[in-house]
Amino acid sequence: MTPAALSSTHKEPDVSAVTSSAAPALPVRVRVRHAVETVRWAPAPRWEGSFADRMRFVAYLGGSMVAWTLAGVGAAAIFGAILR
């Protein structure tokens, strides 16, 4: 193709100061699924290793206990509201 032919078929992209060129956000369902898969397949910390590794394990264990406790209390509250 000649440069003249290219210039007649080529269109510059529309650029605006008010539109974002970033990719649109993923739907909430997809983001939740990614978070669940990340948590599911992430290796749990182990007690073996340095002091920092042990503290990471303690934080993981404590956080897990708090999360499961809150999940249980939330489920009990939902069941209580349903049965009420």
Q: What is the pLDDT of residues 23-80, one digit of tens each?
A: 778 899 999 999 999 988 888 888 899 999 999 999 999 999 999 999 999 999 999 9
Q: Are 53 and 45 in contact (CB under 8 A)?
A: yes
**Model pTM?**
0.52
Each domain of the chain, given as residue ranges in start order, spans: 47-84
Q: What is the pLDDT of residues 4-37, one digit of tens each?
A: 555 566 666 666 666 666 777 889 999 999 999 9
| Torsion sign over Cα 72, 73, 78, 84 | positive
What secondary structure, in 3-state letters, does the chain show? CCHHHHHHHCCCCCCCCCCCCCCCCCCHHHHHHHHHHHHHHCCCCCCCCCHHHHHHHHHHHHHHHHHHHHHHHHHHHHHHHHHC
